[in-house]
Copies of this chain bind each other. A is one copy, B any other.
């Protein structure tokens, strides 16, 4: 590393000098490119114990400046190897987030350009390009032009915004008057979501003052889909009890099993009951880029709002969540406040100030990375990659189905397979309590052993109270050999733990 990278090169400069920045940034690019080229050499999960890393950093901050070369060297030895490698093709846990090449380029420029598109005036291009990209995504998803929206940080925030808007749209005037001490609201507001809906729905209810009690979980059928008759009955029952139903959250692609609620039937119920319908398609929504795979989403065009996360299956560096809504004014009424110091004096005609549609005032310029990656991949390129992931998951499901010692535990509508080891010799005995406990323990041991290999990272859930291994394909680098490797490891560890010879 050259001496260009010494600290505070010059006396006068208050920021790093542009030419020193240029040299340092070129050095950083090489670290980044080397990492992406070599990421597969790392174990997906770093072999470190909690609490072991912090003591390796100085307990006190430095008073004197340090050279970039030194910081970068520490980055390579202390930071990079101790990351969980979401960029690794063996990352098949949770839902993947790949920071794609063009997305990273967009983030680089975002960092240097330093925009804050809270007001149109504080970033005209940040504001208007967000409008462009939101509409590009709307079209790509096959949604009608009545939908408008914004980019938020996470699905948690998108869903919170949707439910805050529902709280207003129901006529309860909560933004102004709050929830306490108001007899006309009855014992409380209610949101409905399936037993399999994401924890972010419950957390939004906590944040919004509805409480965990404000979320009523509707039972699911044997395929983990919301039971629509149970939803309808719950709404009627709550209304009779004086509660105030405000919203239904339908999930297209739940987190545990990626099950799909019957969105059309739920939309019917929501419309009849006058409730806000929010569709959580944070993970699976990307599949709607494929026109022939839009079946699971039928009915979402009737939603009041919906969320799809580009930072999941659209290869966008964290963070980027797309919130679309047909009722932007309800969202605005939930959050808008314009104090004098944010008023713009030269405002001509209708200007969108995006901060009025979210809990935060400040915002990142998230549209830029999406503009980069949608153009670089093209919609066709994105479709090709999503299709490939669907195929890889289907192939894995076939292997599970074909093996008598393994059991698939849910349908595979997208790219996530839920399964467990269940040796053929136990067929017919899996309802016994001792067998259930044995299978739970053994599958936990299997996944632990597989993850310790470093080649792949799988996560787990519980379905119908059974310990369930999940394999979810969504990393841009994942190929058939990685899925095959996961399968080999799973079978190998199951045999080893079962005391049977390998092979």
Contacts and interface: CB of A to CB of B under 8 A. Distances in A.
A342 B95 CA distance: 12
Contacts of A388: 14
A361 interface: yes
B16 A22 contact: no
A448 interface: yes
Contacts of A120: 50
B59 A135 contact: yes
Given A25-B29, A35-B113, A125 B82 contact: yes
A305 interface: no
Given A29-B29, A60-B139, A362-B319, A211 B340 contact: no
A471 B59 CA distance: 37
Interface string A33-65: 111110000000110111101100111111111
Contacts of A113: 35, 79-80, 83, 87, 99
A240 interface: no
A153 B360 contact: yes
Given A33-B22, A123-B83, A109 B342 contact: no
A48 B164 CA distance: 34
Contacts of A98: 15, 114
Given A178-B209, A381-B65, A376 B21 contact: no
A347 interface: yes
Interface stretch (A154-162, A268-276, A395-403): A154-162
Nearest to A256: B341
Contacts of A340: 256, 460-462
Interface stretch (A195-203, A227-235, A322-330): A195-203
A349 B136 contact: no
A221 interface: no
B109 A28 contact: yes
A65 B380 contact: yes
A361 B129 contact: no
Interface string A167-196: 100000011111111100111110000000
A492 to B, nearest CB: 19
A104 B112 CA distance: 6
A319 B372 CA distance: 20
Contact of A156 (B14, B154, B359): B359
Nearest to A465: B340
Interface centre among A21, A109, A181, A459 (most CB of B within 10 A): A181
A32 B180 CA distance: 51
A142 interface: no
A464 to B, nearest CB: 12
A187 B180 contact: yes
A381 B8 contact: yes
A239 interface: no
Interface string A68-105: 10110001001110111011000000100111111111
Given A177-B213, A180-B180, A180-B188, A376 B15 contact: no
Interface stretch (A331-339, A424-432, A493-501): A331-339
A436 interface: no
B212 A108 contact: no
A112 B99 contact: yes
Nearest to A337: B199
A204 to B, nearest CB: 7
B99 A114 contact: yes
Given A209-B210, A211-B175, A476-B14, A105 B8 contact: no
Nearest to A211: B178
A78 B57 CA distance: 43
A376 B68 contact: yes
Given A71-B372, A121-B84, A50 B335 contact: no
Contact of A111 (B107, B121, B210, B335): B107
B207 A207 contact: yes
A477 B164 CA distance: 40
A311 interface: yes
Contacts of A7: 376, 378
Contact of A45 (B26, B35, B121): B121
22 contacts: A22-B29, A51-B351, A53-B128, A57-B129, A61-B139, A61-B374, A63-B378, A79-B113, A82-B124, A84-B121, A114-B317, A153-B153, A153-B360, A160-B359, A174-B206, A174-B209, A179-B209, A181-B185, A199-B361, A255-B339, A256-B340, A319-B362
